[in-house]
Amino acid sequence: MKTNIKQILGFSEFDREITVKGWVRTRRGSSNVSFVALNDGSTIKNLQIVIENDNFDVNIIKAITTGACIAVEGTLVKSQGSGQTCEVLAKKIEILGESDADKYPIQPKAHTMEYLRENAHLRPRTNTFSAVFRVRHALAFAIHKYFNDNGFFYWHSPIITASDAEGAGQMFHVSTLNPTNPPKNEDGAINYKEDFFGAETSLTVSGQLEGELGAMALGLIYTFGPTFRAENSNTARHLAEFWMIEPEMAFYDIQDNMDLVENFLKYVIHYALENCPDDLEFLDKRFAEEEKKKKQEERSEMGLLEKLNFIVSNQFERLTYTEAIEILLNSSHHKKKKFEFEVKWGIDLQSEHERYLVEKHFKKPVILTNYPKAIKAFYMKQNEGEEVGKETVRAMDVLFPGIGEIVGGSQREENYDKLMSRINEVGIDPENLWWYLDTRKFGTCPHSGFGLGFERLMLFVTGMGNIRDVIPFPRTPQNAKF
């Protein structure tokens, strides 16, 4: 029976026979004895295998090269060397998969992130990426656990949809029509009635609208699935395919929504701290090395672990968009004209503004509320009694240091007439949303929700610098490899 290395490293009884299987990270030694660092992915730590070369066929010894996959039977003993507590004295070795060490793309040395992206099929075998993907698993699990433990139901919104929830028109079309010769209407437009679904369909940008339908029946729901955006933003924080977590809660107002998001984010980050100590310790060191390469003024004031612990134990700052604009306008940064984009009431905050607020001004996570109606989606609840031209909606964005926006959410407009007038204002065809509007006709209620970008959370927790490096196979403009 195979034991995984994580279990083996936890054993306190030695001189026992074990079988272990994994990939060779390095082999060193002399003509008499070889020391192999073996990794099986269960932990960032390697297991040392000690091999008396003379006890084995020379072809077996030769085949133990970086990248090869081997099975070892042997005795687990207390280590005589430093650097590990135990090691395996090999009795039987089987080469499961040879590796041409010279051609193996993952050499035992530092590679650039760009190079590793080109080799995304093998990069999970590096320390950095295996750590990142173990943390990814832990966070995904923690998210499900949090919601399950708090009475939420996992709700599956569709991936293929005929509606643009965010109204930003950044959708990938889904069609089985012949792209070179699609059926046309008399006016020359494509006749989607002849398409697979009998309508124009796309990949979803958000599961929210269908999520709301779930909340209006089950009370508390959350979605956790892939979402797709054809926005051509080639930044370190945007993917064309990313995973989003969208809880939706009947009877929650914007205050309840803020309380939930803060509690939830603290819980999942705390879970990672508790359950991924080795990986986070490794990533903490890596983060420190990366920060050293940056200019002094761009460096994070805290280490990775320090940052994570800080988030878990400090209250988020809550303020309105209008207050945030005041802070930005009064900042010396603004007075010295250091913002690239203009600051004035009504703008969609740019990443530089969000980061100024969290990193320089408050030095902690911020929840901004009550954004101008004009820059937010149609479904957000409108505030009342406001000056014409200064109308706001009960939006809430959570901003994190080093990331900017990590969560977007709001209280929803539950009033049929108000929602309808907003739909007409922004030019959405209400015919397409008849089912959504029905919830406002039949037993409507105050409700709220938010969307957390899973990879943005991953960026924060792992301290990685680019969103392409926290998902196994990133999809970005001009790139859908693997």
461: three-class secondary structure by DSSP: helix
- CB-based contact 242:227 (threshold 8 Å): yes
- CB-based contact 276:246 (threshold 8 Å): no
CA pair distance 450, 258, nearest whole angstrom: 9
Look up residue 219 and give its DSSP letter: S
Write out the DSSP string of 45-89. S-EEEEEEGGGS-HHHHHH--TT-EEEEEEEEEE-SSSS-SEEEE
Among positions 119-148, residues that touch Mg ion (CB under 5 A) are: none
CA pair distance 317, 362, nearest whole angstrom: 7
* Binding pattern for the stretch 222-251 against ligand 4AD, x by CB under 6 A and - elsewhere: -------x-x------xx--x-x-x-----
Which of the choices ligand 4AD, Mg ion, none does residue 27 contact, using the CB cut-off of 5 to 8 A by kind?
none
- CB-based contact 132:462 (threshold 8 Å): yes
Among positions 452-471, residues that touch ligand 4AD (CB under 6 A) are: 453, 455-456
Find the shortest distance in angstroms from Cβ 116 to ligand 4AD. 20
Which of the choices Mg ion, ligand 4AD, none does residue 475 contact, using the CB cut-off of 5 to 8 A by kind?
none
CA pair distance 437, 372, nearest whole angstrom: 23
Q: Which of 393, 407, 419, 433 binds ligand 4AD (CB under 6 A)?
A: 407
* Binding pattern for the stretch 397-416 against Mg ion, x by CB under 5 A and - elsewhere: -----------x--------
Among positions 139-198, residues that touch Mg ion (CB under 5 A) are: none
Query: Considering beta carbons, is residue 211 or 408 the nearer one to Mg ion?
Result: 408
Which of the choices Mg ion, ligand 4AD, none does residue 406 contact, using the CB cut-off of 5 to 8 A by kind?
ligand 4AD
Sole residue written with tokens 């207390």: 78
Query: Considering beta carbons, is residue 66 or 257 the nearer one to ligand 4AD?
Result: 257
* Binding pattern for the stretch 203-222 against ligand 4AD, x by CB under 6 A and - elsewhere: ---x-x--------------
The CA-CA-CA angle for residues 171, 379, 358, to 5°, reads: 85
Binding flag, residue 165, ligand 4AD (CB under 6 A): yes
Q: Which range in 257-265, 338-346, 357-365, 447-455 contacts ligand 4AD by CB under 6 A?
A: 447-455
362 is written with which tokens? Answer: 């408050």
| Closest of 36, 33, 13, 24 to residue 88, by C-alpha | 36
Q: Which of 372, 401, 402, 409 binds ligand 4AD (CB under 6 A)?
A: 409
In the complex, the residues that contact ligand 4AD under the rule CB under 6 A are 165-166, 206, 208, 229, 231, 238-239, 242, 244, 246, 405-410, 449-451, 453, 455-456
In the complex, the residues that contact Mg ion under the rule CB under 5 A are 408
